[in-house]
Amino acid sequence: MEKYQDANQPIAARVEDLLSRMNLEQKVAQLQCSMAMGDDPAQMLAPFANGIGEVVSMATQNTVEGVIAFNRKVVETIMQNPLGIPPILHVEAITGAGCPGATIFPSAIGLGATFAPDTVREMAEIIRKQMLTAGYRQALSPVMDVARDPRWGRVGETYGEDPTLNAMMSVAFTKGLQSDDLRNGAVVTGKHFLGYAVSDGGLNMASHPLTPREVREVYAKPFQAAITEGGLQSIMNSYGTIDNDMIIQSREILTKLLREEMRFEGVVVSDYMSIDRLVHHRLARDFREAGVKALKAGLDVECPFPHGYTDLLVQAVRAGEVEEALVDRSVRRVLETKFKLGLFENPYPFADLLEEAYREPSHRAHSLKAARQSIVLLKNDGILPLAKTARKIAVLGPHADSIRLLYGCYTYPAGIEMRLGGTLEEDMAGMDVDGAMANAMPSMGSKIEKPPAMLGSEIIKEAPVVTETIRAMYGDITPTILAAIKAKVPNAQMVYAEGCEVAGCDHSKFAEAIEVAKQADLVILTLGGKYGWGNSCTIGEGIDCDDIGLTGIQEEFAQEITAVGKPTVLLHLDARPLSSVWAQKNINAILECWYPGITGGEAIADVIFGDYNPAGRMPMTALRNSGQVPIYAGQKMGNSYYGKKAATLNKYAEGSLAPLYYFGEGKSYTSFDYSGLQVDKNVSTGGTVNISFTVKNIGKVDGDEVAQLYIKDEQSSMLRPYKEFAGAKRIFLKAGESRQIRFTLKPSQFAFLNQDMKWVVEAGDMAVLVGTSSEDIRLLGSFHIDNCAEIDAPSRGFYALTE
C-alpha cells in the first residue's frame, strides 16, 4: 500500500505523497470538471483518462435508485485513471438535493423570511443525507450574496438584503451540510464571491459598482462568517467585475482578499464558463492566456468543462508562462478536499442510507415546517384566518392549480423544465464544448416541445410535456394550493378559474374568472411569477426585470376581480417581494408565500384557515417601484427614507421615500408585548454585551414571534448605518405566555474600516433597539464601548447569539 492510500497517515502526508507521483498532465486533470449525462457516462468521460477533479452528474433517471446506479458508473469510469484518484460529484442543493425523490424546501428568499437558522441547519442535514445517498459530495450552494436590487433575477436564491441575516443563514447551512466530519458530510460552496447581486442595471453578470470598503464590510461578511464559524470548504467566483477587474482573473479578490485577509484555505471553483468570459470580454487573447490568468489569480477548478485548464495549460507551464508550483498549489487543495471527504476509502454513493434518507416522514414534516415559517402576513383587515364553515370560495389565478409554480429555480422540477423545454440544449449549444464530449451528449430533440404561443415579449407558455411530467412525478406528493384548500374545507363549494397567465396580455380568461368571483362568498387570488431558467419564466438566472411589479396583466386582473366587491385574500408567489401599491391599498389580506416547495400548498392552506399562525418576516425591503432602487434597512445616515430623521434635503419630487414594506416586517393573528429591557452599561472592545427583555403573547392565539435586535452607532469617524440589524430570535408563545430573551454580542460585530482601511472598534455610545421589525421598535436602551482598538477581522463577531 502506498502512503497516499493509507487512511492512517496524516492528510498532509498523503497529499504530498500522491502529488510526488503525478506528472503534469495528471495534475492539470485534477483542476478539470466535466458534465456526465445520458444512459452511459463512460463515453462522455472518455477524454479524462488521467482522472478529473469534479464531475457535474446530470443523471436523467427518474428515480433516486437510477441516479445512484448512474453515479456509481461515473465513479467507476474515473477511477480507472493510473493512480486511482476518485472524482468529486457536485450538485445544486440550495433548497434540496437536485435529484428525484429529494425533499424540496422553500426557495432561499423564503428561508430568509423564517429568521430561523435552526430550521435552515436541520434542512441542510436532511439535504446532506440525501446527497450522500445519491453519491454527491459537493453542493454548489448556498448563495451568500447580499441582494438589495429586486430587478436582479437571482434574488430568490439569496437570503435577502442584510449581511447579518445572510451570515446567520449561511453558517447554519454550512454546518448542517458539512457536518462535524467531512467523511460523513458534503462540501459547501459559498457563492458568488463577490458582490454578484450588485450589478449595473440589476443585470446578471454585469459589473459590480462597489468600493473596497463596501466589499469587505457588507458583501464579504456572510462568506467570512461561514469560513470562520462554519469551516467553509469551497467558494465559487462571481461572473462580474470589481473596479474593472473581472473576478475570475483578479488576484486582488481571489488571493489577497479571500486567502490573505479572510484566511480561506479551501478550493475555489469557477462559476460555469467563467474562463470563457475572459476571452469574450477581450481580457485574454485565447483560452491559453485565460487559463493562465485564472490560475495566477487563485482559481483552482474550472467548471463545467475545461477550456483553459487543458493541454493549453500544460503547454503554458512548459513554455515558462506560469510556474508549475501554482498548479501544485491548486492540486494540493483539491486532493486535500478529497482526502477529507474520505473518497479514497469510499468514493461511491452511500446506497445503504436510502431508506433513512429518502423514506423518512420527518423530512417532509420539516419541509412543511420551513414552508409555514416562511409565509409573511403583510396585510390583514380581519378577514384572516378564514373560518372552516361551508361556503362558496373562488380560487383564482395562475398559481392556484399549478405544481410547477410552487417550486423555484435550482430545484429538480425546474431542472425537468430546463431539459424538456429545450433550455438545456440551447445552453449547451453556446458552451463551445470539446468535440469528444459534444458527440457523447444525448440528443434531447425528441423530448423537447416548444409551443409557439407567446405570453408576452419573449415569454412562452409552459410546454405541455413539462406540465405532464412534473405532475406525474410530483402530483401525489405535492398538492396544489387549490387541492390543499379543498382538503382543508371539504364541505365548502370550491370553484376554480385561472383568469390569466403569469405573463402576457391575454384577457380571454377574465370573463370566466369574474363570473366565478361574482357567485362566490370570498375570493382567494393567487398571483406572482415563475422562477427558473429559459423563456417560459418571468424571473431567474439571466431573467432580470426593469419593472418589479406584478408581471403581465395580473394587476389589471386583480383590479377586475376586486371590483366585484367580494372579500379577497391575495397569495403572492414570487422570488422578489410584492411591489404593488394598488394591492396594498385595495386587497383585504396579503400573504407573501415566495416559492414554498413540496409542501407549499399545505402550508398556505394551514395559514389561511388558522391552523398555523404566520410569523414570517420580510428578508428584503419591498419597494413601491423600481425607481426606489436601492432601498434597504441598513442604509447609511442621510440616505433613503431615513433622510426624514436627519438634516437633509433628500426627497422625490413625486412619490414616497418610504418602502411599501419594511425589512423584518410581518403580522400575526395575535399580539405581543415587549418589556423589561436590560443592557450591560459598559464593555471593552474584547468583551461581550448581554441584552435581555421579555416578550408576552397578549392575544388569544398561540403563535411565533420574531424578536429583532438593532444597534445604532451614535458617533463614528466614518458614515455608518442609521441602524444595523444585529440578530433575531424566533420563539413560540402560547396565548398569555411570556418568555425572557437573551442576546449576547461582541462589540467587534460593529467594527468597520477606518480611513486607513484598518478594522477598528471605536469607543462611544451604541443605541440598542428591540422590536418586531426595522421600523416597529418597542424598546430602547444603550451601552458604552470603553476603548478604541484595531481588531482581527476574521475572528470578529458576526451576529448576536441567543438563548
HEC profile of 549-562: CCCCCHHHHHHHHH
At 451 the pLDDT is 45
Whether the upstream peptide bond of residue 283 has omega within 30° of 0, thus cis, is no
pLDDT at 440 over 50: no
Average of per-residue pLDDT values in the chain: 93
> Is there a contact between 652 and 760 (Cβ–Cβ < 8 Å)?
no
Which range, of 429-443, 528-542, 708-722, averages the lowest pLDDT? 429-443
At 456 the pLDDT is 53
Report the C-alpha gap between 480 and 392 in whole angstroms: 19
pLDDT at 427 over 80: no
Indicate the SS3 state at residue 495: strand
> Is there a contact between 33 and 434 (Cβ–Cβ < 8 Å)?
no
Give DSSP secondary structure letters for 415-430: HHHHHHTSHHHHHHHT
CB within 8 A of 725, min separation 6: which ones?
162, 164, 165, 633, 634, 663, 664, 708, 709, 710, 774
At 513 the pLDDT is 98
Q: Which residue has the cell 405532464?
A: 468
Strand partners, 570: 525, 590
pLDDT band at 435 (very low <50, low <70, confident <90, very high): very low
Radius of gyration of the chain measured on its C-alpha atoms: 26
Based on the number of CB atoms within 10 Å of its own CB, is 453 exposed (0-12), middle (13-18) or buried (19 or more)?
Answer: exposed
At 259 the pLDDT is 98
pLDDT at 788 over 80: yes
Report the C-alpha gap between 290 and 553 in whole angstroms: 45
The x, y and z cell numbers of residue 163, run together, are 449581511
User: CA torsion 206→211→217→222, rounded to 10°?
Assistant: 10
As a whole-number percent, the residues of the chain with pLDDT over 70 amount to 94
pLDDT band at 406 (very low <50, low <70, confident <90, very high): very high
pLDDT at 50 over 50: yes
Q: Which phi and psi angles does 707 have, rounded to 5°? A: -80, 130
> Is there a contact between 316 and 292 (Cβ–Cβ < 8 Å)?
yes
Report the C-alpha gap between 585 and 104 in whole angstroms: 34
pLDDT at 634 over 60: yes
At 95 the pLDDT is 95
> Is there a contact between 299 and 267 (Cβ–Cβ < 8 Å)?
no
Determine if residue 150 is left, alpha or beta; phi over 0 gives left, psi from -120 to 50 gives alpha, anything else beta: alpha
Could you tell me what percentage of the chain is helix, strand and coil, using 3-state DSSP and rounding each to the nearest 5? 35, 20, 45
Determine if residue 682 is left, alpha or beta; phi over 0 gives left, psi from -120 to 50 gives alpha, anything else beta: beta
Indicate the SS3 state at residue 113: helix
Whether the upstream peptide bond of residue 192 has omega within 30° of 0, thus cis, is yes
b/e per residue, 67-90, with b = 16+ CB within 10 A? bbebbbbbbebbbebebebbbbbb
What size, in residues, is the chain?
803
The closest of 421, 463, 538 to 150, measured between CA atoms, is 538
The closest of 61, 58, 236 to 136, measured between CA atoms, is 58
pLDDT band at 455 (very low <50, low <70, confident <90, very high): low
Per-residue 3-state assignment (H helix, E strand, C coil) for 219-247? HCHHHHHHHHHHCCCEEEECCCEECCEEH
Based on the number of CB atoms within 10 Å of its own CB, is 474 exposed (0-12), middle (13-18) or buried (19 or more)?
Answer: buried
- Chain-centroid distance of CA 713 in Å reads 30
pLDDT band at 644 (very low <50, low <70, confident <90, very high): low
Residue-wise pLDDT tens digits, 516-558: 999 999 999 999 999 998 888 999 999 999 999 999 999 999 9
Report the C-alpha gap between 258 and 241 in whole angstroms: 15
pLDDT at 599 over 60: yes
Report the C-alpha gap between 498 and 398 in whole angstroms: 5
pLDDT at 438 over 80: no
Which range, of 177-191, 521-535, 585-599, 641-655, averages the lowest pLDDT? 641-655
> Is there a contact between 51 and 29 (Cβ–Cβ < 8 Å)?
yes
The closest of 415, 1, 423, 341 to 177, measured between CA atoms, is 341
Residue-wise pLDDT tens digits, 229-245: 999 999 999 999 999 99
Cα–Cα distance list, 430 to 304, 424, 433, 714 (Å): 13, 10, 8, 53
Strand 738-745 relative to strand 689-697, pairing: antiparallel
As a whole-number percent, the residues of the chain with pLDDT over 90 amount to 88
At 442 the pLDDT is 41
pLDDT at 768 over 80: yes
The closest of 496, 493, 528, 492 to 512, measured between CA atoms, is 496
Residue-wise pLDDT tens digits, 76-92: 999 999 999 999 999 99
CA angle 741, 743, 744 (to 5 degrees): 150
At 453 the pLDDT is 56
At 429 the pLDDT is 44
pLDDT band at 449 (very low <50, low <70, confident <90, very high): very low
> What number is the average pLDDT over the span 721-730?
96
> Is there a contact between 217 and 752 (Cβ–Cβ < 8 Å)?
yes
Report the C-alpha gap between 407 and 18 in whole angstroms: 44
pLDDT at 413 over 80: yes
At 446 the pLDDT is 36
| DSSP letter assigned to residue 86 | P
Report the C-alpha gap between 226 and 159 in whole angstroms: 14
> What number is the average pLDDT over the span 446-475?
72
> Is there a contact between 800 and 744 (Cβ–Cβ < 8 Å)?
yes
Which range, of 34-38, 447-451, 627-631, averages the lowest pLDDT? 447-451
> What number is the average pLDDT over the span 330-344?
98
